[in-house]
Every structure is written in C-alpha cells, then in structure tokens.
Chains A and B, each alone.
Chain A
Amino acid sequence: MKPVLNPVERLQCLFGPAITRVSTNYGIPVVHVLTNQVLPITRYIHANEELRGTLSLLWAVDHRPRDGRYELWYLFTLGESKDWLIVSTDLPGEERLFESITPKIHAANWYEREIRDMFGLIAQGHPDLRRLVRHNHWPKGVHPLHTNFPWNSVLQWRQPPGSVDGHFIHGEGVFEVPVGPIHAGIIEPGHFRFTVAGEPIMHLDLQHFWKHRGVEKLFEQQTLAGGVALAERISGDTTLGHSLAYCQAVETLWEIHVPRRARYLRSVFLELERLHNHIGDVGGICNDTAYALAHAHCSRLKERVMQLNDRLTGSRFLRGVNCVGGVGIDLSTDQFSELVTELEHIENDFTELEQIIAVNASLIDRFESTGILKKQTAWDHGVVGVVGRASGIDRDLRRDRPFAAYDELSVRVAGSSHGDVRARVQVRVSEIHESIRLIREIQRLLPDGPLRSDRQVVPDAGAWALSAVEGWRGEILYFLMIGEHAHIHRCKVRDPSFVNWPAIQMAVIGNIIPDFPLINKSFSLSYAGNDL
C-alpha cells in the first residue's frame, strides 16, 4: 500500500536537495527552497492533481540592510483540504532578478508586477512587465517598499501625468474606447481601455492604482496596536473585514485568546457589513439595467441596515468596533433583540422585492449569459469570494478556515456554476438570507463574558503571522512581520479585489460595452483596496 504523505513530505521526496529548510509557523507549513528551484516546485504544487494549489498570495520582504537579502513568499491554498502551504526563498541583496512563475501559474501575474514596482525585483520571463502600481509619470528607480526609502519622500514626477501604455490591437475597423479615470457616476477612479470591432469587446486593458496612497509603507510606521485605524481605512466598505483580519494577525503574534463573546460579536458585525453591501449591490446591479424601482428599494433597505449599524455602534461603517484582543463595543440583550427584529423586517421586505425582481423578464434577459467567467478561467486567476462562488469555485473561509465564531456556527455556502451576472446576483441573494440566519443563530448561542483579553507574549523581531477573513467580497489576507522596537516590519495586505480585477478582463470579452457597467457592478470590486 502506498503510504499517505502530507504535502510537505511529498515535496521533500520529490525535490529533496532543493529544499533547504522546513518549518511550521503557527500551524502553517513553510518550505524554504533554493531560488532556482522555485518554478518547478510551485508548478508541481499548482498542477499536481492531488495538491491543486491555488496561488493565494505572493509577496516580498526586504531584510536589508541587516540581513542583506530579500525574501520571496508564495502562499498556496491546496485544493481539497483548503490547507495553506508556504514556499519561501532568499534573494541575495545585490541580486535583482528572480524567475517568474507567471508563465506556469497565471495568478502570479499582478503580484510579480507589483513586486517589481515596489521592490525593484524583476521577474525574469514574465510575459508583461509593464508598470503596474507606479504610473508612467512616476520617476525611475523609486521603489517605495525598500527599507531605505523614506515613507514621507516627495516624488518629483514627470509630466504629463496619466499617460498610458496599454496592450493595443490594431487593424481595420478596430476602435479603442478609453474610459476614466474619472467616471460618470459616483465611483472610484480607474482607467479602462476597450478595444472593439463593431459591438463586441475584443479586449479590455485595465489601468488601476490611481489611488495608491502607500498604505503598506504607512503600516511600517505604526506599532502593532496602532495599525487598526489604518486597516479600517483601506477600503471603506470593508472596514470591519480589514480591521478584523489585521487584529487577528496581531492576536496570533501576541498569542491572545479572544474571549468567546467577542468572537461572536465579531461575526455579528461581519455579517452586518456583508448585509448592507450585498443589498446595495443587488440594487446597483438592477440600476445598471435601468431598473430604478429595485434600486430605490434596495438602497432604502441598505440605508436601514446602515442606520442600524449607527444605532448599535455609533458608526455607519462599523468603525472603531474591533480592537486588538477583542471588540470595543458590546450589545445588550435589548439591543440584540432590536437587531434581530429589524433584520426580520428587512428580510421580509427584501423577499417581497425578490419576487418582483425574479419575474421581470427584461431584467433576467440582461442578467443571463452576460459576463460569463468560466470555472477554469476563475481557477487560473485564483478568483475568490462571491465572484468565485458564482463560477463554481467552492471556497468560503467561514467554512474552510473558521475564524471569529464560525467554528461553532454552520455556514451554508452559496454557489452556482453558471458564472454569469445572474449567478452572481443569486449568490448575493442567498448570502443575504444566510447572513440574517447566522445572526439569528448567534442570538441563540451568544455567551456572556469579557470583551477583550490582553497580550500574553512579546514576540521577537522577525516573528510573523498570516490571517484571513472572509469579507463580503471574499478572502482578505494579511501578512504581518514584526521589526525592531515592536514596529511593523512588513504588512502585506491583500483585498479580494486585487485578484478579481484581472479576471474581469476575461469576463467582458465578447460582451458589448453597454453591458460593461453591469458586469463591473456584478463583480463589485474595490479600487481603494486594490490600489492600497
């Protein structure tokens, strides 16, 4: 009989000499490999039928000048078990080249371009090494995440700002339609360049990062306890998701066991955030098919949830709710019953609206078979969250990697296999009902007890933690490494938008430009969370 090997043992068997060190960090296996062996090893993890690892995160850490090296980290989520596996490698300080894995693992595309911009490390063999974060007018040689780059430097940029070098298709009857960065609605800035021949879109080229504020560098100026406010302001609509992911990373490092009541309350607030965003999005999607009635009702319901947030926590966006070690706001029994009653009204109201939407033929006609994202494409891009679930990628961290109180709750994960706008609406609608059900279940289970616990240990410089939260958009990942004097050495933030944006380029092909706003809204991605 063939012995059952775990993924790390399997790698050791196959790539023995290439693996220099194997360790475990807070339960996550880390395989340290030789730089020139990264490609075969990551490719094996990605392509092997039993492992089927999706690249969830790829980031670099600058250890200079103390250690004179960079470190590259590859985080994989393995197919069946949804376990994590990290591959890491060292890059000597003077070495600026590393082997690109993008030709074999497509999901690495934007990550490697980002590393090139932020660290000046060049992925050799990358098929598309255009600038990503730094627009063309940014000066040469500026790599903000170098340890010796001052966080408050003033950039001397060249004019004219905003020049674009895109991938263009030339030919008779082929037209380019540039859109943005300032759009017609109240939306965030981003540049879209469509290439069309007749009506259908042949190609879409995204240029984002207009809103790059240097968040990751700002984190490095913070102490561990002080970063919560910044995490809350990465993407306003995911305030709680980001602050929760950040707090969890710090709590891992400080070995804090968050009290049960606090964990339950975190779940409540996370579901509230999911609710107001999903309801708003369903309305927004209807609005993009010019169905104003559904939009009006949905924005009314969304406002109800946000006013509820305001009454319960004093912030419409749930700001200041999370703190390291627990939550800063308690809900009394009366408040909780007010919450559940209000949600019951909202659910009834929304169900009536659903029945109106579901029978509207013109709406369904626009939704169906629009913006199809195939399962294989979604998997290749490592798409997460609502968009992934609508394309048949069955992943939900609330079930797969329980955090907060989800280990004691049973989450029914919504899903669809069609991958079109309708599937994404359906997933959202199911998740709205599921969120309300979860909050009801929490009311039944909510234990008494303290709201916060204190720090247990002071970790050494170089200690790191990874944390993940299923926000309303999808997986939010935080990598946090401590430096000297309890300051943050590196904080890698990954909003789900960062992985879902490239996939939208595939979903629009063959659709007409007037359907783009609809597809875009059905993805509902954050520009701020993507640009950082």
Chain B
Amino acid sequence: MFKILKKSFKTGIVTGQYPPAPAGQKFSVAPTAQKKAELFRKSLTIREVDTGSCNACEMEMNALANPVYDIERLGIHIAASPRHADALVVTGPVTVSMEGPLKDVFKTTPNPKLVIALGDCAINCGIFKGSYGVTGPVDQHIPVDVRIPGCPPRPSEIIEALTELRKGVTTFTRWFRKFSGNP
C-alpha cells in the first residue's frame, strides 16, 4: 500500500510529456466531415477496426490511452463495440477476408458517424498496393471523412488531428453566419 503510494508520488504526473507533433498540417478532412464533427466537440467515442495493418498503427492507438497521452482528458473514449461508437478508426489496407467484417461494422455503427482512415495503408494501401490479398483502400468500401497519414502516424499527430477536427466553429460564428447569410 505505502509502496504503491510512494511510487505514485515519486512518478508524479506524466501526462503531456511528449514531443510535439512535427510541424505542418498533414491530415486531411473531407468538406462534409467538419460539420459532422461539430456534434462530437465535447465527447467522441472511437471504435478501432484493423483491416490488415502491420499492427504498428494498433500500437500507436493503444499508446493514446497510456498515461502520457491520456486521450480521455480530451473527451475521447475508446469503445469496445461499434454500436457505442461515434467514429470508426480504420487501419490497414482492406484485405479480402476483412472486407465483409468492415462493412458489417460500418452498418452497425449508429449515425451520424465519422470514419477516420489511420495510416498510409488505410489511405492508399501503402506498400501492399495491388496485392491479390488486398481489395483496396478504406474509401473504396466505406466513405472516409478524415485521413491521417504516416507509417505509422505518431500518437501526437493523431491527437493533433482529432483536436483540430473537433475544434468546430464557435456559437458566435454560427450565429454570425446565420444572420449574414454566408454559410
């Protein structure tokens, strides 16, 4: 008991002790996605689906939940079922055998939902492009809203993309747009 307390005090708070993401906005957001993402400004629940990645992207997704990145502090939660999810994070090229399960997961995720393609493989199949075992990038099977490139993207880059995506617009801007007739 005292050992545990001592260890916790000695360690202190490690959250945020990571180098910032490399400069330059690399991720891309589909035009319609920004509006959808507004709903999830305060809280976003993610379901991760691996459709054939090399598991480096999974390791980085797992790292998001560690005390250093701790994405729960940003209101992002990782769900155990697609039925509880607001966003699907898909990693890897879609393999012949995973195409069916991916479509099933997409169907079972309630609307409105975001689809985030994480890593080069999910965006353009990366090094596995063209192989008989791969049916194509994620957007060939389900509509993709956000693309976060990298092989694999660093956790800091993922956090940056998710934060940027959910910034949305302020109530004032929305009000201003409404009255100025300028959407």
Contacts and interface: CB of A to CB of B under 8 A. Distances in A.
A211 B66 contact: no
Contacts of A356: 3-4, 7
B97 A162 contact: yes
Given A218-B131, A302-B66, A303-B66, A213 B61 contact: no
Contacts of B154: 310, 316
Most buried by B among A157, A210, A215: A210
B57 A236 contact: yes
Most buried by B among A160, A213, A234: A213
A210 B98 contact: yes
B56 A162 contact: no
Interface string A298-332: 01101100110010000011010000000000000
Interface string B56-73: 111111110111110000
A296 B97 contact: no
A229 B127 CA distance: 8
Most buried by A among B3, B61, B131: B131
A303 B68 contact: yes
Contacts of B100: 137, 160-162
A239 interface: yes
Contacts of B127: 218, 229-230, 233
Contacts of B151: 233, 319
Nearest to A277: B59
Given A234-B54, A528-B54, A299 B67 contact: yes
B54 to A, nearest CB: 4
Given A182-B101, A211-B50, A213-B52, A151 B18 contact: no
B127 to A, nearest CB: 6
Contacts of A527: 55
Interface string B5-42: 00100110010001100000000000000000000000
A6 interface: no
Contacts of B97: 135, 137, 161-162, 181, 209-212
A186 B78 contact: yes
B128 A189 contact: no
Interface in B90-125: 92-93, 95-101, 105
Contact of B152 (A162, A213, A229, A236): A236
Contacts of B50: 186-189, 211
Contacts of B66: 296, 299-300, 302-303
Contact of B54 (A214, A233, A280): A233
A496 interface: no
Contacts of A362: none
Given A152-B131, A236-B56, A186 B19 contact: no
Contacts of A236: 53-59, 152
Interface in A176-190: 181-182, 184-189
Contacts of A215: 128
Nearest to A185: B80
Nearest to B125: A213
Interface in A130-165: 135, 137-138, 144, 149-155, 157, 160-162
A297 B52 contact: no
A239 B132 contact: no
B33 to A, nearest CB: 22
A355 B3 contact: yes
A349 B6 CA distance: 12
Interface in B127-183: 127-128, 130-135, 151-152, 154
A528 B55 contact: yes
Contacts of B52: 210-211, 213, 528
Contacts of A161: 96-97, 99-101
A213 B130 CA distance: 10
Nearest to A306: B63
A351 to B, nearest CB: 11
A527 to B, nearest CB: 7
A144 B96 CA distance: 13
A182 to B, nearest CB: 6
Given A187-B58, A307-B18, A151 B101 contact: no
A138 B96 contact: yes
Contact of A214 (B56, B59, B60, B131): B131
A212 B56 contact: no
A510 B93 CA distance: 37
B80 A218 contact: no
Given A213-B52, A299-B67, A527-B55, 8 more contacts: A149-B132, A153-B132, A161-B101, A182-B82, A184-B81, A189-B101, A211-B53, A217-B133
14 contacts: A144-B132, A162-B100, A181-B97, A182-B82, A185-B80, A210-B101, A211-B52, A233-B128, A280-B59, A296-B66, A300-B11, A303-B66, A317-B59, A353-B7
Interface of A: 135, 137-138, 144, 149-155, 157, 160-162, 181-182, 184-189, 209-215, 217-218, 229-230, 233-237, 239, 280, 293, 296-297, 299-300, 302-303, 306-307, 310, 316-317, 319, 349, 352-353, 355-356, 526-528
Interface of B: 3-4, 7, 10-11, 14, 18-19, 48-63, 65-69, 78, 80-82, 92-93, 95-101, 105, 126-128, 130-135, 151-152, 154
